[in-house]
Structure 1
Amino acid sequence: MEPRTAPRHPAQAQAPDDPGAADVIVIGGGTGGYSTALRAAALGLDVLLAERDLLGGTCLHRGCIPSKAMLHAAELVDGIAEARERWGVKATVDSVDWAALTATRDGIVARNHQGVTAHLAHAGVRVVHASASLRGPRTVSAGGTAYTARRGIVLATGSRPRLLPGLSPDGRRVVTSDDALFAPGLPESVLVLGGGAIGVEYASLHRSMGARVVLVEAADRLLPLEDREVSRQLARGLKKRGIEVLTGTRLEDAATHATGVRATVRTARGQVVELDVERLLVAVGREPVTDGLDLAAAGLGRDPRGYVAPADWDRLETSVSGIHVVGDLLPPPSLGLAHASFAEGLVVAETLAGLGPAPVDYAAVPRVTYSSPQTASVGLTEEQARAERGPDQVVVNSMPLTAVAKGMVHGLGGSVKVVAERGGPVLGVHLVGPNVSEMIAESQLVVGWEAEPSDVARHVHPHPTLSEAVGEVFLTLAGRALHQVG
């Protein structure tokens, strides 16, 4: 995120000669907000961005970046165990220096924060470090000053962890996904509530660091929005690592005490189970933040779930002309993912600059869970495809990663699954296994460009790699099976 010279758009340039006005006013400096600001500034627009906390938002400071830094450390710990158990390398983990680990994590976050701050300054974005609220369809109040937007206002105030009634996080015994990484020390046991991507990642992290982990999900499977085969293989992989996975299970009660938390859950079979753990981590989803935004002052409201829904999804524009929304304030089909927010920011900035950009194709946005094993997918699940196209108009092919040499080297299982329309384009790709987060980009292009299996089968995948399994699946679907039985 080093600052660089951005191309200007001379037809749109307007000097910031009025400090009380800007072409574009962005409320919120997270991924959606700052990407909007950067792109709008690159197009020659005068941009003012209001952020009451730290530039970069939840993703940079409490979510994506620090959690992935910690998960990388967890991979290193797991690698030492694999070296000892599979490869005869006589190595052990004596201990984890928590202070050193968190210092490395915090240094990565700090460098990214400095990069975002410098990039915005270099682009000429005026940053107001204050809470902001709407005062009308073109007016924003920030830090006690009123500002007028010549072209439009962008709402990008993000989200916060959703809580369960009766649970009060204290940052030590009961924590949310926002503060779990910053709770003191490594707990010996953790109950993770929520089997979505965040909950699965935190369960995986704590298990790698040696904790006893119980993962509880109210739905009948982990990652309930993903393909069922992905959910099944993920659960199997987590259980193999010693994580207790309880699906179809609900929390009934939880009480803190001197050394931890005693929780009562009801399982899918109706059994009531008491769990004593050192820490309870609540990861049951996130909710949009609109506190203090005063939507009504601009003639806006929220939907029943608290989202600010656009009237025009192509432009991400609300029912009030000139007010746009990006990021976690958007309801589905927006995905609440940082990379989706980047794409939304580009669309809104280019719309405000009069460029008429292509809308975000949410079906082609990759979804990744950075646990061990990892999952990565794009497009429709098999169930969705059969419901949308007809049960007989869908073809599916799967292949285990251990069917290729590099998968045997890793020895961690996993698979590739491709869903396609019969005689037509690829509708979805679903991966489980090591490093699949780095493999999904190819499939994003395949789905986004509506390629057919034969289109992909023409291209050669390198040997030996895990990506060979992707190539083999497409070869078979195209009627050119090589190592896989067609």
Structure 2
Amino acid sequence: MSQTDMHTTDVLVIGGGTGGYSTALRAASLGLRVVLAERDLVGGTCLHRGCIPSKAMLHAAELVDGIAEARERWGVKATVDSLDWSALVATRDALVARNHQGVVGNLQAAGVRTVRGTARLTGPRTVHVEGAGEFTARRGIVLATGSRPRLLPGLAADGRRVVTSDDALFAPGLPASVVVLGGGAIGVEYASFHRSMGAEVTLVEAAERLLPLEDEDVGRQLARGLKKRGIAVRTGSTLTGTELLPDGVRATVRTPGGQELVIETERLLVAVGRVPVTDGLDLAAAGLPADERGFVVPADRSRLETAVPGIHVVGDLLPPPSLGLAHASFAEGLLVAETLAGLPGRAVDYATVPRVTYSSPQTASVGLTEAEARDRGLKIKVNTLPLAATAKGMVHGQGGMVKVIAAADGADGDRGLSCAWGSPRSNEVASGGEMESSGSTGAVLGVHLVGPHVSEMIAESQLIVAWDAEPADVAAHLHAHPTLSEAVGEAFMTLAGRGLHQHTTSARATAR
């Protein structure tokens, strides 16, 4: 193969995270020649510092919680004698390594050429990869360089006392106390993990509720569950000062009432969001700007193509309504690969992408929040069913809920693409799991779950929302008894006027 052939390809992907490697795999399967440039390890943040290692550790935390529940609820006199941190880390790292080997093997089997090195644009079809030279992409370039944790001004992470979500799991040992700054999904998960492992945890969130981009009832239920576990949840609060100590941090937090709380903690974990990584990419060389937030904005959402023809973008570089989730990046990668192969594409419907928080309790949602449905002027019916209303929910004893939002009276429920999760909620709230049975009900607009194992229960609701199913469509099918998923079926049955165990007397049909 000539030097020219070695440096000419159909598609060049910059970044080997979930968005990048999914693009590469799909493009190669469609017969395109693909080069993937990655300066670190393929798999990206999700595989090496985020999704996979954190969920491995959260599984270990679940085992610890199970021992506590066995002792406190079930009379099983078991205790955790000690925690072998090195063994925990070794298991986590082995799982990450196995997944990494799988990604590398899949890329090799697909014929994707992986080039190790920092890449920068040199034109609309050319890329320079450090140590490998200049490459030309005949069909297009895909930007998939991901994101990094956001830090507050003047606050630097040292990997021991002040850590980010990227290095929290790799800091030395387990702290006896931690202040988690940020009540989004990442912050909540880390607060939950550290509490399970015995730490005193304070969770600080500037917004008025946890998971501020989710339905208000989700944040309320989650806060209740975390407080029950002994986590100090401080919403509407901000960090106003930090002082590094030899073995920790002295943090000052302002509460909604203006009180200044001083908390001494071994570790301050900063989880206040992520920012796109474009430094060194030299977007200007291809005539491509980033917006003021650092995102690369697509000119065509149905193709995820930028204003420069042939340059596409996936993953965390995309601005909202893209969700910055690994599984959303997979969908974006598939879309771009198929577009570059000349296949007709359809824009990713972010309203049908499930959103999960792997804390204890877990949360899982898909579709519109109640507030968003109201803001769109939709006539809706809302049903909320406590998980404890089912036998299996009682067995688990963690509380939680199923909340279903449907269009009322056959009204259309166009979700659209411009979802703005967490818009202001009106003062009408769901009441005690009761729902009116009269009148017809249109398409399901959103489903929101809180409780044990709901991350494994959301797939059904994703299909219901994506296929514009109505509660009556779901009510026609039985859910196994006794299961947690039975609560989902019961909630839909009530909306369809066929409820067995839930009252159907109080109206929750609403319109703006």
TM-score (norm 1): 0.96
Equivalent position of 1:473 in the other structure: 491
1:275 to 2:263 alignment: yes
Residues in 2 aligned to 1:432 and 1:161: alpha-carbon distance in whole angstroms? 26
Residues in 2 aligned to 1:182 and 1:158: alpha-carbon distance in whole angstroms? 20
Structure 1 stretches of 4+ with a deviation exceeding 4 A read none
Amino acid in structure 2 at the alignment position of 1:464: P
Q: 1:304 aligns with which of 283, 292, 310?
A: 292
Equivalent position of 1:9 in the other structure: none
Structure 1: runs of 5+ lacking an equivalent: 1-14
Equivalent position of 1:3 in the other structure: none
Structure 2: runs of 5+ lacking an equivalent: 411-441, 505-512
1:132 to 2:150 alignment: no
How far did 1:483 drift? 1.1
1:410 to 2:399 alignment: no
Q: Is the 8 A contact 1:16 1:22 kept in 2?
A: no
Equivalent position of 1:6 in the other structure: none
Q: 2:138 aligns with which of 136, 150, 153?
A: 150
Equivalent position of 1:317 in the other structure: 305
Q: 2:356 aligns with which of 368, 387, 390?
A: 368
1:397 to 2:415 alignment: no
Equivalent position of 1:116 in the other structure: 103
Matches within 5 A, 1:215-230: 215-230=203-218
Deviates more, 1:336-345 or 1:453-462: 453-462
Q: 1:50 aligns with which of 37, 40, 49?
A: 37
Residues in 1 aligned to 2:372 and 2:397: alpha-carbon distance in whole angstroms? 31
Residues in 2 aligned to 1:333 and 1:454: alpha-carbon distance in whole angstroms? 30
Equivalent position of 1:438 in the other structure: 456
Equivalent position of 2:56 in the other structure: 69
Residues in 2 aligned to 1:16 and 1:90: alpha-carbon distance in whole angstroms? 69
- Per-residue CA shift, 1:237-283, capped at 9, x if unaligned? 00000000000101111011112100111111100110000000000
Q: Is the 8 A contact 1:24 1:149 kept in 2?
A: yes
How far did 1:16 drift? 11
* Identity score, percent: 76
Amino acid in structure 2 at the alignment position of 1:134: L
TM-score (norm 2): 0.91
Residues in 2 aligned to 1:269 and 1:313: alpha-carbon distance in whole angstroms? 43
Equivalent position of 1:426 in the other structure: 444
* Secondary structure, aligned partner of 1:18: helix
Matches within 5 A, 1:166-205: 166-205=154-193
Residues in 1 aligned to 2:215 and 2:30: alpha-carbon distance in whole angstroms? 40
How far did 1:143 drift? 2.2
How far did 1:44 drift? 0.4
Equivalent position of 2:25 in the other structure: 38
1:359 to 2:347 alignment: yes
1:386 to 2:404 alignment: no
Note the aligned Cα RMSD (angstroms): 1.0
Amino acid in structure 2 at the alignment position of 1:328: D
Equivalent position of 1:81 in the other structure: 68
Equivalent position of 2:416 in the other structure: none
How far did 1:358 drift? 2.0
How far did 1:35 drift? 0.2
Q: Is the 8 A contact 1:128 1:143 kept in 2?
A: no
- Per-residue CA shift, 1:342-401, capped at 9, x if unaligned? 0000000000001112221100000000000000000000000111133xx111001000
Amino acid in structure 1 at the alignment position of 2:318: L
Equivalent position of 2:468 in the other structure: 450
Q: 2:147 aligns with which of 159, 179, 182?
A: 159
* Secondary structure, aligned partner of 1:311: coil
Amino acid in structure 1 at the alignment position of 2:187: G
Q: Is the 8 A contact 1:308 1:329 kept in 2?
A: yes
How far did 1:166 drift? 1.1
Q: Is the 8 A contact 1:16 1:46 kept in 2?
A: no
- Per-residue CA shift, 1:42-79, capped at 9, x if unaligned? 00000000000011000000000000000000000000
Residues in 1 aligned to 2:499 and 2:236: alpha-carbon distance in whole angstroms? 39
Residues in 1 aligned to 2:338 and 2:304: alpha-carbon distance in whole angstroms? 11
Residues in 2 aligned to 1:350 and 1:394: alpha-carbon distance in whole angstroms? 37
- Change beyond 3 A, Cα 1:242–1:16: farther
- Per-residue CA shift, 1:96-130, capped at 9, x if unaligned? 10000000000000000000001101100001000
Matches within 5 A, 1:4-23: 18-23=5-10
Residues in 2 aligned to 1:231 and 1:464: alpha-carbon distance in whole angstroms? 27
- Per-residue CA shift, 1:416-440, capped at 9, x if unaligned? 0000110221000000000000000
Q: Is the 8 A contact 1:389 1:421 kept in 2?
A: no
Aligned residues: 470
